[in-house]
A and B are shown apart, each in its own frame.
Chain A
């Protein structure tokens, strides 16, 4: 039996969650104060997932970069590879709020979308 202590990133409360594991199997989850915590711990113990936010280059407007985010969590382990794709992406204004800029990035099932609208100059 192994014991993992996790800090939940589901909300600012940052609950400390105890996960008891036997091999790859979760036995008990304690310390969470809401269902988000349990879901987080269940996922975190086997494959940590994160929302990734960054910026992409933009042309055709007064700004050089546009803030972007994945529209769902991606595996933490694939963050570096996804960043390489994001860093080599250039978009052109105008861009609308939550417009899909990179579809199904790295086959994760997540799209990279615009975090804000950007009108053309």
Chain B
């Protein structure tokens, strides 16, 4: 007999723990959380730096401390978690195949599946950096794990490509561990990291940030010996004659994160190409009934607090589904317009909204001041002025069910920069 669960959460990181706890707290008894690592907490375990939890706990804490709070709560509610267990396949009929050392290969059935699978890092192959292929070129998160969990010094002379938050945080971390960090190169004319990380990770340690620069060659036979860094033009093409050379033994890549969606893809879940994760509605339900997605496996977040919040909402969506079935109401698309990269959710059932729905979105370039307009056709639903917008900071906007009750078409989010030249 195939074992059956009301809800199975795939992933025991920040999203999976929050989802599992919320399901238990709302009367769903037989919940299973499946985690491939030997501890819960996911990426939080290696994010030993401070700054998590300001929204959730009203104080700043380290990543492991944030995870610890959820681990304790999971124990309190009696959440069933399988560690060292890898999900190999999920199917449209909501069967799940997993494997672990105790049980071997197992197939189970779930009424609802929450994908809380996290994301992976873009690597050297994704960038196609020319040159030799020595050891010493790591993604920033990989190096972070080696250093902060496994306890190995990753290198002593370091350069970092990409100014994403993990890259910035690793720059400081490597300096603290006695390495010399020569610089951070960013191909864009602006950083993709949070402003506070530019300040406390680079400026505090006098690490130069080379904007509009990228790595154009890699040298080294066994271990990395040298890299070539070039300035790029406005079309991001390297400019000849601008080459600089750094004799480093370690190159860290912090060049973007992508939702881990191979399980969902295989099951036939529709993806939103803008977020590279599943298309979801106001309850975080995917295109296939009974599947839900949240956290970095849905779209990459900059704050764990929002991952927690989203996972709780996805869990409530699953609770709603388990009790009431799938929404029968009319569906409207929610789309990014001019100046906006994506919106999550990207579709809603306006008559199925329970009290409120919050939209997450990102703008496409840094602006000092902008007007955000949310419209349905010609009708403006909301217009707000905002200051200092950057793509690396996710924007949020909340609507009540009442405000969206008489929507009769697609909703568009637009951003227009305010010019002060006149």
Question: Do chains A and B stick together as partners?
Answer: yes
Q: Which of A14, A64, A97 contacts B199 (CB 8 A)?
A: A14
A18 in the interface (beta carbon within 8 A): no
Question: Given A12-B51, A116-B65, do A64 and B151 touch, yes or no (CB 8 Å)?
Answer: yes
Count A-side interface residues using an 8 Å CB cutoff.
33
**Complex interface: chain B residues within 8 A of A9 (CB):** 196, 199-200
Query: A1-42, CB under 8 A of B: which get 1 and which 0?
Result: 000001111111110100000000000000000000000000
**Complex interface: chain A residues within 8 A of B54 (CB):** 11-12
B289 in the interface (beta carbon within 8 A): no
Q: Which of B45, B148, B303 contacts A12 (CB 8 A)?
A: B303
B151 and A65 within 8 A (CB): yes
- Given the complex of chains A and B, what is the CA–CA distance between A25 and B83 in angstroms? 56
Question: Given A48-B204, A54-B48, do A8 and B68 touch, yes or no (CB 8 Å)?
Answer: no
Of the four ranges (under 10, 10 to 19, 20 to 34, 35 or more), the interface on chain B belongs to 20 to 34
In the complex, how many angstroms separate the beta carbon of A104 from the nearest chain B beta carbon?
19
B68 and A67 within 8 A (CB): no
B121 in the interface (beta carbon within 8 A): no
Question: Given A67-B64, A116-B68, do A12 and B302 touch, yes or no (CB 8 Å)?
Answer: yes
Question: Given A53-B48, A97-B65, A116-B68, do A64 and B200 touch, yes or no (CB 8 Å)?
Answer: no
B388 and A79 within 8 A (CB): no
Query: B42-59, CB under 8 A of A: which get 1 and which 0?
Result: 000100111100100000
Closest chain A residue to B393, Cβ basis: A12
**Complex interface: chain A residues within 8 A of B60 (CB):** 51
**Complex interface: chain A residues within 8 A of B45 (CB):** 67, 116
B198 in the interface (beta carbon within 8 A): yes
Closest chain B residue to A9, Cβ basis: B196
B195 and A53 within 8 A (CB): no
B393 and A115 within 8 A (CB): no
- Given the complex of chains A and B, what is the CA–CA distance between A6 and B199 in angstroms? 9
B64 and A115 within 8 A (CB): yes
**Complex interface: chain A residues within 8 A of B48 (CB):** 53-55, 67-69, 115
In the complex, how many angstroms separate the beta carbon of A68 from the nearest chain B beta carbon?
8
- Given the complex of chains A and B, what is the CA–CA distance between A53 and B170 in angstroms? 12
- List 9 additional contacts besides A54-B176, A115-B63; criterion CB under 8 Å: A8-B196, A12-B51, A48-B204, A54-B177, A65-B150, A87-B177, A97-B65, A98-B65, A115-B61
Q: A-contacting residues of B (Cβ < 8 Å)?
A: 45, 48-51, 54, 60-65, 67-68, 147-151, 176-178, 194-196, 198-200, 203-204, 302-303, 388, 393
In the complex, 26 of the A-B residue pairs with CB atoms within 8 angstroms, ordered by the A residue number, are A6-B199, A7-B199, A9-B196, A11-B54, A11-B196, A12-B51, A12-B54, A12-B303, A13-B393, A48-B204, A50-B200, A51-B50, A53-B62, A54-B48, A55-B147, A55-B151, A63-B149, A67-B48, A67-B63, A69-B62, A83-B177, A87-B177, A97-B65, A97-B68, A115-B64, A116-B65
